[in-house]
Amino acid sequence: MPLFEGLSAGSEKSAVILDIGAAYSKVGFAGEFGPWAFVPSKVRLSKTKKEVRVWDYSSVDELYDILVEFFHVLYFKHLLVNPKDRRVVFCESILCPTQFREMVAKVLFKHYEVPSILFAPSHLVAMFTLGVNTGLVLDAGYSETTVLPISFK
């Protein structure tokens, strides 16, 4: 049973929204006006007791350990929900490495047993929130800045 049921009209629980940035990550629920928490994108590994940034990994095994610890903090400290009960929308940069995306899916499906994951480009998600079909999205982050024209029907 999840610790937080949410304020939804139906029996379907709102999806968890994850946006992992180079310095900070945003987490929350679909349908909310904003993120529930802004969390530094770093975690203390239980094996080595070292604090590492999520994006600073040297191997896929290390990335797996980092993501397991990081998602544990997100779900059980900030969101207070059972991951098995919530779908996930993962907002990602279009420059996100495929290896990172695959490891996120592996950790969420195998370790946390989430029912489904949607990988959504963050630039497109920004347009959805405004309800417009065309625009120029400027994403100024900690380690990169991207400008993308968006047009969809």
Are 109 and 80 in contact by the 8 Å Cβ rule? The answer is no
- Residues 144-153: pLDDT tens digits? 999 999 988 7
> Minimum mean pLDDT among 4-8, 65-69, 97-101, 130-134: which range?
4-8
- Residues 57-108: pLDDT tens digits? 999 999 999 999 999 999 999 999 999 999 999 999 989 999 999 999 999 9
User: What is residue 1's predicted lDDT score, i.e. its pLDDT?
Assistant: 37
Which superfamily, per CATH, for 16-151?
A: ATPase, nucleotide binding domain (3.30.420.40)
User: What is residue 47's predicted lDDT score, i.e. its pLDDT?
Assistant: 84
For residue 12, pLDDT over 90 is answered with no
User: What is residue 46's predicted lDDT score, i.e. its pLDDT?
Assistant: 85
For residue 3, pLDDT over 50 is answered with no
pTM (two decimals): 0.87
What's the token pair of residue 55? Answer: 């994006």
